[in-house]
Amino acid sequence: MKRRKMTAAAILLCIGLAVMHGCGKVREVKSEKLYLGVACYNASDTFLSEWTDSLRKEIEALDSEFDGAAVTIADAAGSQRTQDDQVKALIDSGCNVLCINLVDRADPSEIIDLAKEYDVPIIFFNREPVAEDMMQWDKLYYVGADAKQSGIFQGELAAEAILADSRIDRNHDGIIQYIILEGEPGHQDALIRTENAVDTLKSEGILLEKVGHGIANWNRVQAQNRMQQFIDQHQNKIELVIANNDDMALGAIDAYQSRNLTESSFPVFFGIDGTSVGLEAVREGVLAGTVYNDAKGQAEAVAKLSAALVSGTGMEDIAFTKGKCIYLPYSKVTADNVDEYINMK
C-alpha cells in the first residue's frame, strides 16, 4: 500500500516536471527558497553600505518568484578570519547562494573549500579574486566593474577641467602640482585607478608634478588626516587632488575646510563612486567630478545571477566575461549631469 502511494507520488512529480519543462518556466513552481548569505568586508564603507542596501531591495523584489527570498548580511569589520567563520555560519543557516566581498582578495581558499564541500555557489563582488583562484571551482562568479575604465574616466575628467580653466594652475608654471589619495594597497581599484588616472592626464598633454601620495584605505577621516599633513608640508602649492574614491576626496576637502582657507586657495578634487554624499558634493561644486560606480546595477546583476543559480533557469540570458564575470560600466559625473544621478538613487 505504502509502495503504491509512493509510486503515484513519483508519477505525479514526473508529470509536474514534464509540464514545467514544456512551458520552459520551472521557476513558477515556487518550491525553492532564495536565501542569500552576504559577507561584507566592512559595513562602515560608504560605497559598500549603499551597495548592500540596493541588494536587499533587489532580493525583496524576487520574493514572489520564489517560495520566499531572504538575505542575511554579515560584517567582517576588516578581518578575514572573522569572515571565514561568518561564511561557515551562513552555510549552516541554510543559505543557497553566497555573495562574498572578500576582506583579503588574495585569500579566498578557505571560503571556496567550504562552499565546495556544501555545494553552495559563490558570487564574489567588488573585491576581485585573482584569476587563478576563480578557476578553483566552476561555481564561482564575480560581479564588479572594470577598474581601468574608472581610472581613465577620472583622468579625462581632470584633464578636461584643467584645459578648460587656466586658474587651476594657480602658480602659472604650466605644471599641475598634485596629490594622490589611495585606497587599500593590493585592492584592484587602488593600484589600477591611480595608474590609469595619471597616465590619462599625461596622455592628454597635462604636465604633472607629484607632490605627495598617501594611503587612506577608502576612509574619509584617514584622508583628512593625510591631507592635513600635506597642507602643512606644501601650504598652498597643491593644485589637484586625485582620490581613488569619493570618501577620500571628501576627507581632503574636509581638511581644507577645517583650516578656514579661502576657496581660491583650494585645489580641484576628483573622486570615484558617486555615493550620495559624493554626488551632493558635485552638485554643490566642492567636488569637481566623480566617476559613477554603479552599485545599483551591480546589485541587480548579483540578484539576477543568484535567482538563475537557485532556480536553474535564466543563466543563458546573462552576458558573462571570461565565462564567469560580470563587469558593469562606469560613467563620468560633473555638475552638468549630476542631477540625473541624484534622481537615480
**Residues of this chain that bind ligand GAL (CB under 6 A):** 45, 47-48, 126-127, 183, 187, 189, 218, 245, 272-273, 293
For the bound state, the minimum distance from the C-beta of residue 264 to ligand GAL, rounded and expressed in Å, comes to 29
For the bound state, the minimum distance from the C-beta of residue 184 to ligand GAL, rounded and expressed in Å, comes to 7
- Residue 94 backbone dihedrals phi, psi, to 5 degrees: 100, 15
Q: Residue 288 in contact with residue 267, Cβ under 8 Å?
A: no
Q: Which is nearer to ligand GAL, 98 or 176 (CB)?
A: 98
Q: Which is nearer to ligand GAL, 33 or 56 (CB)?
A: 56
Q: Which is nearer to ligand GAL, 75 or 273 (CB)?
A: 273
Closest CA to 47 of 315, 327, 301, 296: 296
For the bound state, the minimum distance from the C-beta of residue 281 to ligand GAL, rounded and expressed in Å, comes to 14
Query: DSSP readout, 20-71?
Result: HHHHT-GGGG--S-EEEEEEES-TT-HHHHHHHHHHHHHHHTTGGGTT-EEE
For the bound state, the minimum distance from the C-beta of residue 275 to ligand GAL, rounded and expressed in Å, comes to 7
Q: How far separated are the first and last CA of the chain, in Å rounded?
A: 60
Q: Residue 49 in contact with residue 73, Cβ under 8 Å?
A: no
For the bound state, the minimum distance from the C-beta of residue 166 to ligand GAL, rounded and expressed in Å, comes to 31
Q: Which is nearer to ligand GAL, 111 or 176 (CB)?
A: 111
For the bound state, the minimum distance from the C-beta of residue 249 to ligand GAL, rounded and expressed in Å, comes to 10
| CA 320 – CA 325 distance, rounded (Å) | 5
Write down the residue that cell numbers 560605497 correspond to: 47
Closest CA to 66 of 307, 228, 254, 304: 307
Query: DSSP readout, 89-150?
Result: HHHHTT-SEEEE--SSTT--HHHHHHHHHHT--EEEESSPPPHHHHTS-TTEEEEEE-HHHH
The 3-state DSSP class for residue 4 equals: helix
Q: Which is nearer to ligand GAL, 83 or 245 (CB)?
A: 245
User: Residue 1 gets which letter from DSSP?
Assistant: -
Following CA atoms 320, 92, 37, 47 in sequence, which dihedral angle do they give, to the nearest 10 degrees? -120
For the bound state, the minimum distance from the C-beta of residue 273 to ligand GAL, rounded and expressed in Å, comes to 5
Q: Which is nearer to ligand GAL, 126 or 306 (CB)?
A: 126
Q: Which is nearer to ligand GAL, 59 or 192 (CB)?
A: 192
Closest CA to 35 of 5, 73, 4, 3: 73
The 3-state DSSP class for residue 278 equals: helix
Q: Which is nearer to ligand GAL, 127 or 226 (CB)?
A: 127
For the bound state, the minimum distance from the C-beta of residue 100 to ligand GAL, rounded and expressed in Å, comes to 12
Q: Which is nearer to ligand GAL, 76 or 272 (CB)?
A: 272
For the bound state, the minimum distance from the C-beta of residue 286 to ligand GAL, rounded and expressed in Å, comes to 18
| CA 311 – CA 340 distance, rounded (Å) | 35
